[in-house]
């Protein structure tokens, strides 16, 4: 059943163009909305089994000889992400029905959206690392298409390309890690790899495996310094931002880190990299969010900071920290998804996302303001029982205080972690207040492109559902503890956390940390206009985006120079490059593998007629070099082909002889037809250097082909298949002509496709000739 759950969104994407083309009176979203809803119900129905430890698996064979199969596995962790993907996917689809106009290219939008949905489900459900990689890169491609949905905008194209370049490069490094991991463990199954974690840790490739896989996770989950793609991805339509960049795609790296935690967790290198980059991302993302003036840009950097916080908790490596990370994954999806939708509503109903032009919207858009209130205050971690974000953030503070390790290095670093946690959270509080109060309070602006008004209920319904989760989980967090959070934590850590979630824990250190965040955050927010100039020198002119642009522009210039250096328009140069590469690659391979062998034991006798024909062919071939007339050169070259036909006759291969005669005749005729339209042969002497190069390459190619022919006849590393064809041709093909049986029966499909290719080429040539004639006529 799991394979059908992954396949369903892809099948939906396949039929979307038909809905869009033939049923224009109804928004396409209504036809595809049931799919994610049904998937959500299905995954919801599996909570009971998974919470009892009954996991579900299914396998669809792909390339079993290489252990590359579509192996799907549903446990607590994959169930949590599957619920988020399908549940928020359903809400985003509903939201997009009211957000996107029917005049938009909805066929493209929903095709890309559902391809992405299926790819994300494939990522979180895959047990085979190569299947996971396939879906992983498919999320990059589909997100590229979604970000560039409005492709007529330069910013959309730039953001789409940047996201794909960074995430695909990370994915390729991750693939390298997977290959090494499968080599060390001898399996491609993630579950079996986890069972062989001791082999991985003891392997000399451990450091390389960890670095390569974390590079893939960091690029996907926008960890510093790879975070730069996420703000530019905000050029996508708001439903895409709400789905990809808050609840699903950006959490793929989080998922991968959590999934492979049983292998790498507990090692010093894992702790330093994951915790260090996570805290750095938390602090930098929250600090930079306050600088932004676009609502979606603020939310983009806030997403970066929240992902850093989750990543750092995975790095802590304790049972409580893993549970807190799982809890915040759920909470972040609810409040951030609702905030992205609210930002889209503001843009849709006011005509702008520029926070400098907004203000006083609370009285004009009271429902949106209420939704934003719960979303922002939950994101800020305000210590009130209505906000689920406070519960997981308090766990974050608590786990940062209780990092235990036998390593001296970890022990030395541990005291700094709570300080960085508080620092990043202070700026989180500031940007949350900045988002809410600067948008909904203060004086109303008159220069808005559209007169502000509340959104229709259809557009409000999805963020309302998410905010209801924010409030309900904040008040009754244990409703999701046993069925969702605990099984997910068990899947990561291996044992039940035994955590009862409560709002009040007394006057504990984590409460003081939360109060410190609120107090200092309030002061910084109220004095924002006085200290905001700090951004002029930190980061100031420095920017990771500038590094990306410099590298990107540099590689384009390098590619242009390189291409111009060999794309000279000279046929001689192109043939020269091909032949030099052929001689070099094949010659080096023969030398390295000691492939050149000469055996004279199994040679047939050669008679004088055969020698005579061979001599004539050699003389004719040499004559083509010195011929001054192109027609004469072609006719003399035909002697070589017809001489080869005679040799086939001498060696009793009449079919090959006949084929060679026909091919040679057609070739000579085509040559003559083509040369009729070409200018006369240039008889000027070439420079000495060019002639020497031509001679060297010609001799090298001749020697190489001779050596390959001799080596292929002399070296028999495998038993020849010729005996099989001779023995079975009559039985299997009903014919005694072995060559014909091979071509028509044993390799019939190959022959069919070869003929098809020739036919397509012929049609293409005919079309070009017709077009040229029409141009000449005009």
DSSP per-residue letters across 576-624: HHHHHHHHHHHHHHHHHTT------TTPPP--HHHHHHHHHHHHHHHHH
What tokens does 540 get?
Answer: 């100031």
- Residue 750 domain flag: yes
Q: Which residue has the higher pLDDT, 284 or 695?
A: 284
Break the chain down into helix, strand, coil percent, rounded to 5. Answer: 75, 5, 20
Q: If we measure between CA atoms, which residue out of 399, 391, 562 comes closest to residue 474?
A: 391
Q: Model confidence at 768, in pLDDT bands (50, 70, 90)?
A: confident
* Distances from the Cα of 349 to the Cα of 92, 149, 438, 454, angstroms: 18, 21, 17, 7
My answer on whether omega of the bond before 225 falls inside 30° of 0, hence cis, is yes
- Residue 595 domain flag: no
- Residue 655 domain flag: no
- Residue 121 domain flag: no
> How much is the pLDDT for 682?
62
> How much is the pLDDT for 776?
65
Whether residue 338 has pLDDT greater than 80? yes
> How much is the pLDDT for 306?
95
- Residue 382 domain flag: yes
Q: Which residue has the higher pLDDT, 572 or 759?
A: 759
Give me the domain span that covers residue 774. 720-778
pTM for the full predicted model: 0.82
* Boundary residue ending a domain (536, 551, 584): 536
Q: In this structure, are residues 77 and 190 in contact, taking their beta carbons and an 8 Å threshold?
A: no
Taking only the tens place, the pLDDT of each residue in 686-712 is 788 888 888 888 889 988 888 888 887
Taking only the tens place, the pLDDT of each residue in 58-105 is 888 888 877 888 999 999 999 999 999 999 999 999 999 999 887 778
Q: Model confidence at 280, in pLDDT bands (50, 70, 90)?
A: very high
> How much is the pLDDT for 334?
95
Whether residue 528 has pLDDT greater than 80? yes
- Residue 46 domain flag: no
Quick one: CA torsion of 643, 649, 655, 657, rounded to 10 degrees? 10
- Residue 160 domain flag: no
> How much is the pLDDT for 678?
64
Distance of CA 252 to the CA centre of its chain: 11
At 318 the three-state DSSP class reads coil
Q: Model confidence at 541, in pLDDT bands (50, 70, 90)?
A: confident
- Bridge partner list, 59: 71
Residue 608, Cβ density class (10 Å: 0-12 exposed, 13-18 middle, ≥19 buried): exposed
* Boundary residue ending a domain (485, 505, 536): 536
Round to whole Å and give the CA distance between 477 and 474: 6
Taking only the tens place, the pLDDT of each residue in 202-240 is 999 999 999 999 999 999 999 999 999 999 999 889 999
Q: Which residue has the higher pLDDT, 136 or 693?
A: 136
What tokens does 689 get?
Answer: 């250097």
Taking only the tens place, the pLDDT of each residue in 618-627 is 888 888 877 7
- Residue 331 domain flag: yes
Round to whole Å and give the CA distance between 218 and 259: 14
DSSP per-residue letters across 346-364: HHHHHS--BTTT----TTT
Whether residue 36 has pLDDT greater than 90? yes
* Boundary residue ending a domain (536, 562, 578): 536
Compute the residue count for the chain.
778
Whether residue 491 has pLDDT greater than 70? yes
Round to whole Å and give the CA distance between 475 and 615: 96
* Distances from the Cα of 209 to the Cα of 212, 216, 245, 270, angstroms: 5, 11, 27, 11
> How much is the pLDDT for 371?
96
Q: In this structure, are residues 241 and 92 in contact, taking their beta carbons and an 8 Å threshold?
A: no
| pLDDT average, residue stretch 247-255 | 89
* Distances from the Cα of 775 to the Cα of 572, 664, 778, angstroms: 29, 33, 5
Domain count, the chain: 2
At 642 the three-state DSSP class reads helix
């Amino acid at each position: 059943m799991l394979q059908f759950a992954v396949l369903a969104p892809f099948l939906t994407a396949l039929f979307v163009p038909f809905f869009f083309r033939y049923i224009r009176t109804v928004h396409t979203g209504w036809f595809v909305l049931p799919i994610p809803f049904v998937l959500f119900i299905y995954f919801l129905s599996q909570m009971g089994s998974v919470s009892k430890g009954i996991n579900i698996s299914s396998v669809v064979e792909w390339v079993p000889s290489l252990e590359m199969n579509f192996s799907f596995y549903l446990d607590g962790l994959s169930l949590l992400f599957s619920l988020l993907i399908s549940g928020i996917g359903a809400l985003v689809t509903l939201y997009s029905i009211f957000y996107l106009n029917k005049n938009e290219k909805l066929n493209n939008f929903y095709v890309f959206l559902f391809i992405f949905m299926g790819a994300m489900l494939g990522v979180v459900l895959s047990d085979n690392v190569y299947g996971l990689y396939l879906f992983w890169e498919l999320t990059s491609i589909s997100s590229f298409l979604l970000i560039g949905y409005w492709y007529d905008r330069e910013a959309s194209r730039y953001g789409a390309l940047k996201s794909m370049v960074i995430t695909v490069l990370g994915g390729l490094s991750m693939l390298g890690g997977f290959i090494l991991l499968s080599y060390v463990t001898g399996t491609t199954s993630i579950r079996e790899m986890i069972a062989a974690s001791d082999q991985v840790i003891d392997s000399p490739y451990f450091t390389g495996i960890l670095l390569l896989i974390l590079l893939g996770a960091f690029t996907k989950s926008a960890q510093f310094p790879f975070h730069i793609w996420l703000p530019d991805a905000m050029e996508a339509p708001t439903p895409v931002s709400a789905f990809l960049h808050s609840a699903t795609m950006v959490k793929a790296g989080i998922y991968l880190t959590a999934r492979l935690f049983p292998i790498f967790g507990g090692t010093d290198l894992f702790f330093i990299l994951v915790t260090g980059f996570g805290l750095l991302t938390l602090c930098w993302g929250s600090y930079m969010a306050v600088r932004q003036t676009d609502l979606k840009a603020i939310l983009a950097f806030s997403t970066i900071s929240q992902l850093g916080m989750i990543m750092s908790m995975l790095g802590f490596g304790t049972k409580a920290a893993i549970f807190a990370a799982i809890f915040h994954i759920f909470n972040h999806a609810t409040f951030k998804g609702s905030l992205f939708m609210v930002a889209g509503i503001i843009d849709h109903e006011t005509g702008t996302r520029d926070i400098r032009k907004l203000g006083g919207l609370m009285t004009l858009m009271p429902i949106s303001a209420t939704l934003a209130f719960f979303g922002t205050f939950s994101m800020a971690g305000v210590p009130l029982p209505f906000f689920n974000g406070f519960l997981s953030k308090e766990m974050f503070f608590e786990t940062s205080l209780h990092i235990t390790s036998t390593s001296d290095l970890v022990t030395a670093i541990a005291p700094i972690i709570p300080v960085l946690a508080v620092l990043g959270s202070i700026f989180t509080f500031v940007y949350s207040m900045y988002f809410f109060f600067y948008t909904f309070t203060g004086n109303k602006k008159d220069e808005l492109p559209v007169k502000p008004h509340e959104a229709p209920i259809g557009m409000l319904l999805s963020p309302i559902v998410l905010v209801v989760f924010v409030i309900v989980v904040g008040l009754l967090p244990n409703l999701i503890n046993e069925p969702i959070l605990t099984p997910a934590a068990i899947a990561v850590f291996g044992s039940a956390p035994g955590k009862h979630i409560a709002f009040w824990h007394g006057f504990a250190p984590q409460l003081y940390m939360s109060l410190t965040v609120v107090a200092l955050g309030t002061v910084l927010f109220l004095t924002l206009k006085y200290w905001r100039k700090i951004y002029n020198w930190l980061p100031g002119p420095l920017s990771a985006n500038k590094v990306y642009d410099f590298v990107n522009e540099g590689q384009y210039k390098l590619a242009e120079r390189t291409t111009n250096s060999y794309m000279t328009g000279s046929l001689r140069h192109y043939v020269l490059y091909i032949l030099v590469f052929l001689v070099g690659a094949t010659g080096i391979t023969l030398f390295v593998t000691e492939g050149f062998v000469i055996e004279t034991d199994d040679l047939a006798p050669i008679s004088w007629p055969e020698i005579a024909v061979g001599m004539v062919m050699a003389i004719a071939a040499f004559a083509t070099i010195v011929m001054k007339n192109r027609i004469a050169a072609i006719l003399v070259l035909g002697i070589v082909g017809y001489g080869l036909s005679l040799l086939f006759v001498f060696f009793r291969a009449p079919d090959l002889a006949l084929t060679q005669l026909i091919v040679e005749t057609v070739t000579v005729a085509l040559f003559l037809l083509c040369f009729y339209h070409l200018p006369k042969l240039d008889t000027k002497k070439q420079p000495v250097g060019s002639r020497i190069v031509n001679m060297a390459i010609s001799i090298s190619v001749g020697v190489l082909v001779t050596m390959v022919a001799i080596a292929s006849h002399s070296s028999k590393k495998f038993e020849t298949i010729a005996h099989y064809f001779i023995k079975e041709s009559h039985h299997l093909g009903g014919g005694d002509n072995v060559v014909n049986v091979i071509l028509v029966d044993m390799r019939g499909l190959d022959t069919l496709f070869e003929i098809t290719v020739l036919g397509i080429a012929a049609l293409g040539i005919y079309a070009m000739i017709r077009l040229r004639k029409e141009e000449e006529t005009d």
